[in-house]
Amino acid sequence: MFVSTEATILHADLDAFYASVEQRDDPRLRARPVIVGSGVVLAASYEARAHGVRTAMSGGQARRLCPQAIVVEPRMSAYTEASRAVFAVFRHTTPLVEGLSIDEAFLDVGGLGKSSGSPVEIAARLRREVAGEIGLPITVGLARTKFLAKVASGVAKPDGLLVVPPHRELGFLHPLPVRRLWGVGPVTADKLATRGIRTVGEVAAVPESALVSLLGRATGRHLYALALGRDPRPVRTGVRRRSMGAQRALGRRDRSPEDLDAIVVGLVDRLGRRLRAAGRVSRTVTLRLRFDDFTRATRSHTLAQATAETPAILTTARGLLAVAGELISIRGLTLIGVALGDLHDDGAVQLALPFGQADAGALDCAVDEVRDRFGSSAITRAVLLGRDPGISVPLLPD
DNA sequence: TCTGGGGTCCTAGGACCC
DNA sequence: TCTGGGGTCCTAGGACCC
């Protein structure tokens, strides 16, 4: 395989995405600390982050840290629409776009030809276009590998552009704290710290075998390779999801078995619709539970034959709920979820879906259909058109 | 009053098979 | 018949990401 020796991979990452959309749409919020989500912080503007507010923090804690923050409820449809527009700019830049989430993607701009300009020029233009046409700040990292591009954008945030030239990779990487490595969370960072390893350079200086014995085979090898700047993974388009889940937090209130059953019925009903709309079938049903001490448990069952039929999935999920009954009775249950795994195509996939009466469920389905077939970058067109009653949504790409 | 909701990947052990 | 190696599948848990 051809291995690029040039920096042609962009990691483009919108800054404080939900909060930035709110600031864009309401001038009163600009330059002020904004928190999206009142129960749990879904996003915090950089002004709020300056006070220590972080994503996934409880709303109470966030308000204590930053009492002057303006708290707004999330507007998912606005974020979906903004994401759609940004991804359109991405795809206009290069066809090689790999979406990672609603607000970030890898772009490979190698081989675009001279008229597009150098990768640095392309990256700068991309930032200008997103800022000018969509009104959102976006940070771009540019490097020879996905991993380095991702690290670069993380370092360059917010509203930045950082290029890591191939001859400066290790000089850039090695002084960074290990926590900057994609895939190193609190647990792994702690384990490394017990060996006195705190920087990427210190990871690179340890024998790979030592990392493997400390962190496990895959993580050890992965981390060692990354610390040396090795990452051969190409930018891939059309990555398909491997599982599909729905869950619901229960709060602290006690629930009767009938309550739990009703919740599971609702979750399975939603999942079944999404699965069928995506033209896929699942073989493995997993029941997820979380308890008031934040411990988790799962119970799963694999069917002989994959299905997308709600009754079959529901029967399985109910069986798992019965199996888990003892766990539930002795601990306070705070979350229940159902996940469908081992997804496969369901032979006959429809090419178009009529959404004459678009409701929330139909939109859910449309999103999944497009994501599953054309990659996450194509998601939001169906959502947008689906919101307009009476329009059929063509799901074929342009 | 209600309060995170999605995902990916890896590991380990047991069952089972060749 | 016993032993052992090696592989796949399933289940449960865990780390991590946005």
Q: How many CB atoms lie within 10 A of CB A176?
A: 18
Q: What is the pLDDT of residues A287-329, one digit of tens each?
A: 999 998 888 999 999 998 899 999 999 999 999 999 998 888 8
Asked if residues A376 and A241 have their Cβ atoms less than 8 Å apart, the reply is no
Mean pLDDT of chain A, nearest integer = 85
The residue ranges of every structural domain in chain A are 1-165, 174-227, 243-384
Q: Nearest nt to A335, CA vs C1'?
A: B4
Q: From the Cβ of A100, is strand C under 7 Å away?
A: yes
Residue A172 predicted with pLDDT over 80: yes
CA angle A39, A40, A41 (to 5 degrees): 125
- Using the predicted structure, report yes or no on whether residue A367 has a pLDDT greater than 60: no
A169 included as an active-site residue: no
In the block, residue with structure tokens 């889940």? A245
A312 touches strand C (CB under 7 A): no
Residue A394, beta-bridge partner list: A352
In angstroms, the CA of A250 and the C1' of C12 are apart by: 23
Protein residue minimizing CA–C1' distance to C9: A302
Of chain A, the end-to-end C-alpha distance in Å amounts to 30
Give the pLDDT mean for A359-380. 44
Q: How far apart are CA A235 and CA A162, in angstroms?
A: 19
Please name the residue whose C-alpha is nearest to the C1' of nucleotide C11. Answer: A300
Q: Which of A110-114, A137-141, A216-220, A288-292 has the highest mean pLDDT?
A: A137-141
Q: Which nucleotide is nearest to A189 (CA to C1')?
A: C15
> pLDDT digit string (tens) for A14-39?
999 999 999 999 999 999 999 998 88
Q: What pLDDT, on a 0 to 100 scale, did the predictor assign at position A4?
A: 59
pLDDT tens string A332-346:
899 999 999 999 887
Contacts of A197 (CB under 8 A, 6+ apart): A178, A203, A206
Query: Which of these ranges, A227-236, A339-348, A371-380, has the smallest mean pLDDT?
Result: A371-380
Helices (H), chain A: 17-25, 46-49, 59-65, 76-93, 119-129, 146-156, 169-173, 186-194, 200-205, 208-215, 217-227, 257-277, 310-323, 325-330, 360-374, 379-386
- HSE-CB at A165 with a 13 A cutoff on CA atoms is 3
How distant is C1' of C7 from CA of A302, in Å?
20
Tell me how far apart the alpha carbons of residues A190 and A187 are, in angstroms, rounded to a whole number: 5
What CATH number does domain A1-165 carry, 3.40.50.2300, 3.30.428.10, 3.30.70.270, 3.40.50.1220?
3.30.70.270
Chain B nucleotides close to protein (CB under 7 A) are 2-12
> Looking up tokens 């960074």, which residue turns up?
A176
A101 touches strand C (CB under 7 A): yes
CATH architecture, range A243-384 = 2-Layer Sandwich (3.30)
At the top level of CATH, which class does the domain A174-227 belong to? mainly alpha
Q: Give the CA-to-C1' distance from A283 to C7 in angstroms.
A: 22
Closest nucleotide (C1' vs CA) to A100 is C18
Which residue among A47, A104, A169, A369 is the active-site one? A104
Per-residue pLDDT at A220: 92
Point out the residue nearest to B1 (C-alpha to C1').
A251
